[in-house]
């Protein structure tokens, strides 16, 4: 009997139905490398990496994540020139004078023994805040970028205090530059929580609902809500954001962490004048955590918002095309890269695109939609193993 097709798998209504079919037919198990599908040996056209998300067309699903790689006009221009599908600028607020970015503000975890200076970087911590550049400067640069790249997608990341008028003013000002969408930073783990900013909102569903309501009543472009992983059930704030009018979810932001302790001087890292603070953890080590969070959100979105034109952007430890494919297999429309760009440069997008195309060719996928969400149908709860084993 022939193997299950993607369409057939999608038509199944229960794990038990899928399990009964599996007992009767040989079916290749999925692996971390990819899916075993029975592709034709005939020559295929080059895979199409383009995606359309909330009405925004991108040449590929690779998006510069909000952070240092989108901190000013020069670097965002370079990202467009290198071929990134979209750019999310570094988060802005109305009053940059309140933002103090210290130096050093990064620490790295390397593979190998504690304190290794030679191993591969697998973890990256930052204690950087949002943009400390004047808002007017950032707005001028957004406008200039949209004038020079009218067909490319520029997304403004914004964050404000618990103040309806401030949120409305900030939305109005960024929209006047011609940006294509807005990403709301509800998730920075060290983003001035004492002022009800960042994860302080994303961890409080009542507060998130209220602020999302303000934002979506004002915004005229698509709005993505960026989720914090520093919460027990990430689907709860994601659900609230979507119910409150957001068109997309981005996940995940960084994980609250202390990178380590310098055992010579007995100071935590990164260390600023002898002091430190917990910060956000990113890079390859967070990738499995991000996959689990994205899978949970994707399952929730499919079951509760399946008939709506919503989007999901996967974030966390993407350095290869295979990393990106994993997010897409779990339901992501786009994949954001921030730390990876800081480590490998803006030219990384070419490697990501080539490797993603190779994956698609190997498995006979011609478009991103051919395999987006494929593995959601293979996720089960523990009590359902009885139907499989």
Of the candidates 32, 60, 36, 5, the one whose C-alpha atom is nearest the C-alpha of residue 333 is: 60
How far apart CA 276 and CA 262 sit, in angstroms, is 12
Stretch (H or E) spanning 311: strand 311-315
Q: How far apart are CA 361 and CA 325, in angstroms?
A: 12
Beta bridge partners of 177: none
CB neighbour burial string for 105-114, b if at least 16 within 10 angstroms, e if fewer: ebbbbeeeee
Between the alpha carbon of residue 40 and those of residues 30, 43, 364, 389, the distances in Å are 19, 8, 7, 30
Question: SS3 for 310?
Answer: coil
Token pair of 161 as six digits: 């205090």
Q: What is the DSSP letter of 268?
A: E
Q: Which residues are catalytic?
A: 188
Break the chain down into helix, strand, coil percent, rounded to 5.
40, 20, 45
Helix 287-305, helix 321-329: angle, nearest 10: 30
């Amino acid at each position: 009997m022939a193997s299950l097709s993607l369409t057939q798998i999608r038509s199944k209504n229960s794990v038990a139905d899928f399990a009964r079919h599996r007992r009767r037919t040989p079916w290749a198990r999925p692996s971390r490398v990819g899916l075993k599908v029975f592709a034709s040996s005939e020559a295929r056209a080059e895979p199409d990496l383009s995606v359309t998300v909330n009405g925004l067309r991108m040449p590929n699903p690779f998006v510069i994540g909000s952070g240092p790689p989108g901190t000013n006009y020069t670097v965002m221009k370079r990202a467009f020139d290198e071929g990134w599908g979209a750019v999310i600028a570094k988060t802005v607020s109305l009053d940059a004078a309140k933002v103090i970015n210290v130096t050093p503000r990064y620490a790295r975890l390397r593979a190998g023994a504690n304190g290794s200076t030679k191993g591969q970087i697998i973890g990256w911590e930052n204690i950087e805040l949002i943009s400390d550049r004047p808002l007017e400067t950032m707005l001028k640069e957004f406008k200039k970028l949209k004038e020079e790249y009218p067909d490319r997608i520029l997304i403004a990341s914004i964050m404000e205090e618990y103040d309806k008028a401030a949120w409305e003013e900030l939305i109005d000002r960024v929209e006047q530059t011609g940006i294509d969408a807005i990403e709301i930073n509800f998730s920075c783990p060290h983003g001035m929580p004492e002022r009800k900013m960042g994860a302080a909102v994303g961890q409080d569903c009542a507060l998130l609902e209220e602020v999302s309501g303000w934002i979506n009543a004002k915004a005229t472009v698509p709005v993505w809500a960026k989720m914090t992983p520093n919460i027990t059930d990430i689907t709860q704030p994601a659900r609230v954001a979507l119910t409150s009018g957001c068109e997309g979810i981005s996940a995940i932001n960084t994980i609250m962490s202390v990178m380590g302790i310098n055992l010579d001087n007995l100071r935590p890292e990164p260390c600023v004048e002898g002091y430190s603070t917990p910060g956000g953890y990113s890079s390859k080590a967070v990738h499995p955590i991000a996959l689990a969070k994205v899978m949970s959100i994707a399952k929730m979105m499919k079951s509760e918002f399946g008939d709506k034109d919503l989007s999901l952007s996967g974030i966390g430890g993407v350095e290869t095309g295979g990393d990106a494919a994993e997010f897409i297999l779990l339901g992501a429309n786009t994949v954001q890269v921030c730390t990876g760009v800081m480590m490998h440069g803006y030219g990384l997008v070419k490697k990501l695109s080539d490797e993603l195309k190779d994956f698609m060719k190997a498995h006979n996928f011609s478009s991103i939609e051919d395999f987006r969400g494929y593995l959601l149908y293979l996720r089960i709860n523990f009590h359902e193993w009885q139907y499989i084993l």
